[in-house]
Structure 1
Amino acid sequence: MNMPLNTSANASDPIEQARFNMIQQQIRPWDVLDLDVLDALAEVRREEFVPPEHQGLAFMDIEIPLHGAPDEAAQKGWNMLAPRVEARMLQDLQILPTDKVLEIGAGSGYMAALLASQARQVLSLEIVPELAEMARENLLSAGIANATVRLADGATDPLPEGPFDVIVLSGSVAEVPPALLQKLTEGGRLGAIVGLNPVMRATFVRRKGNNFETTAPWDTMAPRLVGFPEPSPFKF
């Protein structure tokens, strides 16, 4: 695929110019250089996955509220992650065209759309009914047929059929959920943002037999995914 990164061509269309600026000024400086990933970011129309009242924020380097008031959305994790975080996660997971992917936290469906552009099949779980419906409608409108959204609690409901080549948590957790690791194929990868505020790291786990190799290559922050265990507070 060839990226539409000609500045003169994009300058006549404000939306395409904003998309170009997002890729060049936010995403590439974050060491996202994989051409297939950059192509996906250029082709998947991010603005169509943003609530209408926030479409002016679609290409900004911020988390975008998806449901409820902004303060409530931030507290409950009802936010779209910043573009550079989604892009770096996508790149570091090294998605293959044969991969079967599980995402926890569909949100608006944008990350599922990016994953579907790289993978064979994507199943995305979403705990909030309104967001699950939003994600389904957005994916349908975008013509994406290899991504499915299921209303489910990825923390407590029975896990869907597997195994999966890739598992993505689109939000943060205190620690990598062991049950999800057991759903990985041989060589499968899990990506999550792990830690406690204000210190979190993007964490990637690869399965090799009964062993799991973990790397945590970069710092970031993300809202919590609902329902996953939190460490007990210290008691003296």
Structure 2
Amino acid sequence: MGVSKREMIKRHLQGRNISDARVLQAMWDVDRSLFVPEDQLEHTYEDKALPIGLGQTISQPYIVAYMAQALRLTPQEVVLEIGTGCGYNAAVLAHLVQHVYSIEVIEWLAALARKNLERTGIRNVSTRLGDGFNGWPEAAPFDAIVLTAAPPVIPEPLMYQLKIGGRLLAPVGTNLQKLVLLFRASENHFEERELLPVRFVPMTGEAQKN
């Protein structure tokens, strides 16, 4: 028998500095088993990334919760996610904000995410197939932007799709990656803070040309 959801929340989240009550509730409310392949179901609530096919993974619960907590999201906010993956992170964000816009560059993953999100009954996530480098201009500006794949540097178009006072959270780097929190202080002034070392898949497409 694998780890229970209650054990994951208590040991791996609360036991490791996740204290935001809304984030903990969202992690409880989202059924991770709806996003995990059948052959991995016994590992659903283990605190690790799990394979979902063709070299792709569903994110580690702690990292999903850590990133959501670091963004300090409020119920009225609108978020852009770059890298929908299987839809798990978008589902957690959807419990925390008014609306999530999410872009996925891999076609089969985008289709899988749509199917998974439909199964959850979540209605406040819009998904799109495409390269996330240029964001989602017609839905901008965003209160927060989160990247689930690592660009060598933060794409400039994304920075300028933040509202003044908005936050962007991204793993940045090639071999050595750091989770970076960027704050848009004014029209052309951004402040950055490094949070912790991480390992994410590289952001593909346009991001690799910069």
Q: 1:67–1:131: 8 Å Cα contact kept in structure 2?
A: no
Alpha-carbon deviation of 1:61? Answer: 2.4
Q: Secondary structure at the match of 2:153?
A: coil
CA distance in 1, matches of 2:189, 2:78: 21
CA distance in 2, matches of 1:129, 1:230: 19
CA distance in 1, matches of 2:14, 2:199: 19
CA distance in 1, matches of 2:145, 2:182: 10
Other-structure match for 2:143 = 165
Gaps of 5+ in 1: 1-13
Other-structure match for 1:203 = 180
RMSD: 2.0
Q: Which amino acid aligns with 1:215?
A: R
Alpha-carbon deviation of 1:171? Answer: 2.0
Q: 1:66–1:107: 8 Å Cα contact kept in structure 2?
A: no
Structure 1 residues 23-73: Cα deviation after superposition (integer angstroms, max 9, x where no partner): 1222223311111100111111111111222222222222222232xxxx1
Q: Which amino acid aligns with 2:185?
A: K
Q: 1:24 to 1:51 in 2, by over 3 A?
A: same
TM-score norm. by structure 1 comes to 0.82
Q: Secondary structure at the match of 1:172?
A: coil
Equivalent of 1:93 in 35, 57, 71: 71
Q: 1:145 to 1:157 in 2, by over 3 A?
A: closer
> Is 1:67 the counterpart of 2:53 in the alignment?
yes
Q: Which amino acid aligns with 1:202?
A: L
> Is 1:49 the counterpart of 2:71 in the alignment?
no
CA distance in 2, matches of 1:162, 1:63: 30
Q: Which one is further off, 45-54 or 97-106?
A: 45-54
CA distance in 2, matches of 1:48, 1:131: 14
TM-score norm. by structure 2 comes to 0.91
Other-structure match for 1:181 = 159
Other-structure match for 2:99 = 121
Structure 1 residues 172-227: Cα deviation after superposition (integer angstroms, max 9, x where no partner): 22211111000000111101111232x32211111111211111122221121222
Q: 1:208 to 1:156 in 2, by over 3 A?
A: closer
User: 1:9-88 alignment to 2 at 5 Å?
Assistant: 18-68=4-54, 73=55, 78-88=56-66
Q: Secondary structure at the match of 1:60?
A: coil
Q: Secondary structure at the match of 2:200?
A: coil
Aligned length: 209
Q: 1:153 to 1:21 in 2, by over 3 A?
A: same
CA distance in 2, matches of 1:203, 1:147: 24
Q: Which amino acid aligns with 1:203?
A: V
CA distance in 1, matches of 2:208, 2:118: 35
Structure 1 residues 129-187: Cα deviation after superposition (integer angstroms, max 9, x where no partner): 21111111111111111011111111368745311111110122221111100000011
Q: Secondary structure at the match of 1:171?
A: coil
Gaps of 5+ in 2: none
